[in-house]
Chains A and B, each alone.
Chain A
Amino acid sequence: MDNTYAIELKNISKRFGTVLANNNVNLSVKRGEIMAILGENGSGKTTLMNMISGIYYPDEGQIFVNGEEVTITSPKDAFNYSIGMIHQHFKLVDVFSATENIVLGINDGKRYKLSEARRQVLEITEKYGFDISPDKKIYEMSVSEKQTVEIIKVLYRGADILILDEPTAVLTPQEIDKLFAVLRRMRDDGKSIIIITHKMNEVLSLSDRVAVLRKGEHIATVETASTSVSELTELMVGKKISLNINRTDPHDTSDRLVVSNISSVNSEGVTVLDKVSFTARSGEILGIAGIAGSGQKELLEAIAGLQPLTEGEIKYNSPEGESFNLRKRTPEQIRELGVRLSFVPEDRLGMGLVGSMDIIDNMMLRSYKKGHSIFLNRKSPKKLAEEIVDELEVATPDVKTPVRKLSGGNVQKVLVGREIAAKPKVLMAAYPVRGLDINSSYTIYNLLNEQKDNGVAVIFVGEDLDVLLDLCDRIIVIASGKITGEVDGRHATKEEVGVMMTGNTQKEAN
């Protein structure tokens, strides 16, 4: 019995169109073990787990549960094999109590009795030390409590293999400690736990073994006790690849934007920025490295005046020598000062551009307030649109084509082009090359470099370390809303940045 694994994956592959999300992955988890799956964004961790929990079906390979080959085609199948997954996005009914949510969908043929279910929920909470009231409504709960409900939901259905997808991303440190205590208790009870994460310290403190994934491939599985931060980081980020981006030396630099000790809390009460300080200089590209969701979006929005801060100061020094405190200004005033946010969220068209409008109209979104009559002046935006299409080689039939009909790269060029056309003093670009092919990416890099040579302070948020190291002059690293270090883009190594991205400060890394 002891030789068989609770769950075993053999040669699992999964493609989405032309993208290979998982390639020949082998993985095995024992009973009474906590296995951490470590990897960067897009390394295929969640895809792999979704195949175990029945959301996706693997293209190739086999899955074994307790030594027997199984076919899992739906979450229901997964439950039948005692597999339960706790997703990042909770699936709970807001106006239901915890118990009601837990029993939802169960049809065991027995009489429906909420009081009996409530008793069983209490049994589970006591057994593993959860801290939750079964009668509390979901809408009154904190994120951590909601997560607890999800975990109990899975346990109530009798799961022996629990998969948690980045469970700590939304929790406070105290809540994380509590969660880990519960997970350890479940391990001691003989359950198998798979936890997806990219936080190194959590991997080391919680797991028994670590499987590292990189670009869809399984790189290695190591015993946590016999590994180190640097070894794991190296496995995770791989060797550096040179991209030959044409990087010029900064000249005439001066402190353009001085951010000191800013903090921010999101609507759920979680600290998203924690005393962040840095300086962006003119004529320089400042890179911000970090795992997605570490506070990059909030940081940029804070500078643009869109994110309320609890403390700290953002000072803007204009080229003319004046100083402004941006915290006291509206987003519009900040834009007027020349601080431009070319923010590219997951959904390119969601923020910044309106998909069903043509390029001209999208240009006007930034300038319509300058008009004086009630009628729109389409002449100058049209000229601007034509210039952008010309200079940035936007592939479009004409400037009257709706933006959503353009390909991703061309949409990006329109967005960046519009912000650059406003002659910014500070240009913030978040993931400007996400989803773009190589050529379009280089066009964007060159644009940013051009801006830098013109004396603009460029802030570049990226996820690919190779790009950051080849493009940026300086790189600050952010992890869980904290700046964990600052490095020189010309001399830093990938491992150095990688270690800091997973929450270790610069000192620990060296």
Chain B
Amino acid sequence: MTVFIQGAIRQAMPLLFGATGEILTEKSGNLNLGIPGIMYVGAISGVIGATIYEHTVGAEAIVPALAVSITLLASFIGSLLMGLIYSFLVISLRANQNVTGLALTTFGIGIGNFFGGSLTKIIGSQTANISLGNISKYFKMTPPIADKLGWFGDWFLSYGFLTYVGIIVAIIAGYVLKRTRVGLHLRAVGENPATADATGVNVTKYKYVATCTGSVIAGLGGLYYVFEYTGNWSNNGFGDRGWLAIALVIFALWKPVIAIIGSILFGALYMLGITTTGISRELKEVYELLPYLATIFILIITSIRNKKENHPPASLGLSYFREER
């Protein structure tokens, strides 16, 4: 049981980061299908930062706080650049959002694999992996009281700090969207930019900030996977988690707090495929389908109930041009 729950939550975190980031982005009216690529870039940027640091100072001289900060900062910069590329194309140049997003995903994965391969060569790794153990152990550090609290500690406190960051970020995002003026304006931008514009909200600014913030948060999902979940980088190791994150956005009805529960549910469904013993390989593939089926199921339910609050932002996927009325 404990293994199952821990597994589910570890599987959940990359999805939660990705979904929270995508929710913020979509609330501004931008459908960013580049999220899988951005998460990949967020991961490789962190890996680059960590590896360069480690190889500059040597494995023995690593300062934990500095190592973690450099890794996070590198990841931030990588994801932010991706977010800026998307924003510039889609918001300023009004490029088609779907095409731009898909291109960005392909681009991001290409970047990740290119730098992953290069780094492997530079550090002279014997395998195709980059071992990040010297730094990732700080990401994996659990709260010190975890093992004194029995099952409670095992279930809730046996994770690295990024797990808690993920949940807190989702809760803050939910609060901002629902309870603050910034959130009100952001939602208005995604629902009806012309109205927001008429009331004096700076539509372009909101779209840029939301999209870039969303990218950085999503990038953390990639970073989590590499540093806390696996502890090493291997090309194409990230799987389809980026797409699952986008599915989770729909599943969560664009609400970050529901995304927390949804991500753990998705993680649990995924774990079901791994931990159920005595099933054939084909059946395992079917288990991996479950999160997508759950998403389709939610789509059907919400469509039948047809409650406007549960719909995607009304201007999602559309670019805004003031003079076009």
Q: Do B181 and A107 touch (CB < 8 A)?
A: yes
Q: A104-B184, A112-B184 are in contact. Are A91 and B308 (CB under 8 A)?
A: no
A residues 83-141 with Cβ under 8 Å of B? 91-96, 100, 103-107, 112, 114, 137, 139
Report if A75 contacts B (CB, 8 A).
yes
Q: A107-B181, A112-B181 are in contact. Are A93 and B200 (CB under 8 A)?
A: no
Task: Encode A355-378 as 1/0 by CB contact (under 8 A) with B.
Answer: 000000000000000000000000
Q: Do A95 and B195 touch (CB < 8 A)?
A: no
Beta-carbon nearest neighbor of B313 in chain A: A95
Chain A CB within 10 Å, residue with most, of B185, B191, B194, B200:
B200
Bound-complex Cα distance A91 to B192 (A): 8
Write out the residue numbers on chain B whose beta carbons fall within 8 Å of the beta carbon of A93. Answer: 187-188, 191-192, 195-196
Q: Do A104 and B191 touch (CB < 8 A)?
A: no
Beta-carbon nearest neighbor of A157 in chain B: B199
Bound-complex Cα distance A375 to B81 (A): 52
- In this complex, how many residues of chain B approach chain A with their Cβ under 8 Å: the count is 20
For residue A145, give the distance in angstroms from its CB to the closest CB of chain B.
16
Beta-carbon nearest neighbor of B191 in chain A: A93
Q: Do B192 and A94 touch (CB < 8 A)?
A: yes
Bound-complex Cα distance A107 to B184 (A): 12
Bound-complex Cα distance A104 to B206 (A): 14
Q: Do A75 and B308 touch (CB < 8 A)?
A: no
Q: Do B188 and A91 touch (CB < 8 A)?
A: no
Q: A103-B184, A137-B308 are in contact. Are A95 and B201 (CB under 8 A)?
A: no
Q: Do A75 and B195 touch (CB < 8 A)?
A: no
Bound-complex Cα distance A71 to B1 (A): 71
Q: Do A91 and B195 touch (CB < 8 A)?
A: yes
Write out the residue numbers on chain A whose beta carbons fall within 8 Å of the beta carbon of B314. Answer: 94-95
Report if A490 contacts B (CB, 8 A).
no
Bound-complex Cα distance A485 to B35 (A): 64
Task: Encode B116-144 as 1/0 by CB contact (under 8 A) with A.
Answer: 00000000000000000000000000000
- Mostly, the A contact residues are loop
Report if B180 contacts A (CB, 8 A).
yes
Bound-complex Cα distance A385 to B184 (A): 55
Q: Do B308 and A104 touch (CB < 8 A)?
A: no
Beta-carbon nearest neighbor of B189 in chain A: A93
B residues 144-178 with Cβ under 8 Å of A? none
Bound-complex Cα distance A92 to B192 (A): 8
**Contact of A100 (CB < 8 Å), options: B184, B198, B201, B311:** B184
For residue B320, give the distance in angstroms from its CB to the closest CB of chain A.
14
Task: Encode A318-338 as 1/0 by CB contact (under 8 A) with B.
Answer: 000000000000000000000
- In this complex, how many residues of chain A approach chain B with their Cβ under 8 Å: the count is 18
Write out the residue numbers on chain A whose beta carbons fall within 8 Å of the beta carbon of B188. Answer: 93, 96, 104-105
Report if B240 contacts A (CB, 8 A).
no
Q: Do B308 and A94 touch (CB < 8 A)?
A: yes
The A/B interface has a contact count, at CB < 8 Å, of: 58
Q: Do A104 and B309 touch (CB < 8 A)?
A: no
Report if A76 contacts B (CB, 8 A).
yes
Task: Encode A135-155 as 1/0 by CB contact (under 8 A) with B.
Answer: 001010000000000000000
Write out the residue numbers on chain A whose beta carbons fall within 8 Å of the beta carbon of B309. Answer: 95, 137
For residue B311, give the distance in angstroms from its CB to the closest CB of chain A.
8
Q: Do A104 and B185 touch (CB < 8 A)?
A: yes
Beta-carbon nearest neighbor of A110 in chain B: B181
Write out the residue numbers on chain B whose beta carbons fall within 8 Å of the beta carbon of A94. Answer: 191-192, 308, 314
Q: Do B194 and A104 touch (CB < 8 A)?
A: no
Bound-complex Cα distance A91 to B308 (A): 18
Beta-carbon nearest neighbor of B198 in chain A: A91
**Contact of A104 (CB < 8 Å), options: B179, B180, B195:** B195
Write out the residue numbers on chain A whose beta carbons fall within 8 Å of the beta carbon of B196. Answer: 93, 104-105
Q: Do A139 and B308 touch (CB < 8 A)?
A: yes
Task: Encode B100-130 as 1/0 by CB contact (under 8 A) with A.
Answer: 0000000000000000000000000000000
For residue A124, give the distance in angstroms from its CB to the closest CB of chain B.
17
Bound-complex Cα distance A344 to B191 (A): 32
For residue B307, give the distance in angstroms from its CB to the closest CB of chain A.
10
Q: Do B191 and A75 touch (CB < 8 A)?
A: no
Can you list 21 residue pairs at the A/B interface with Cβ under 8 Å? Answer: A75-B200, A91-B192, A93-B187, A93-B191, A93-B192, A94-B308, A95-B308, A96-B191, A103-B184, A104-B195, A105-B185, A105-B196, A105-B199, A106-B199, A112-B180, A112-B181, A112-B184, A114-B179, A137-B308, A137-B309, A139-B308
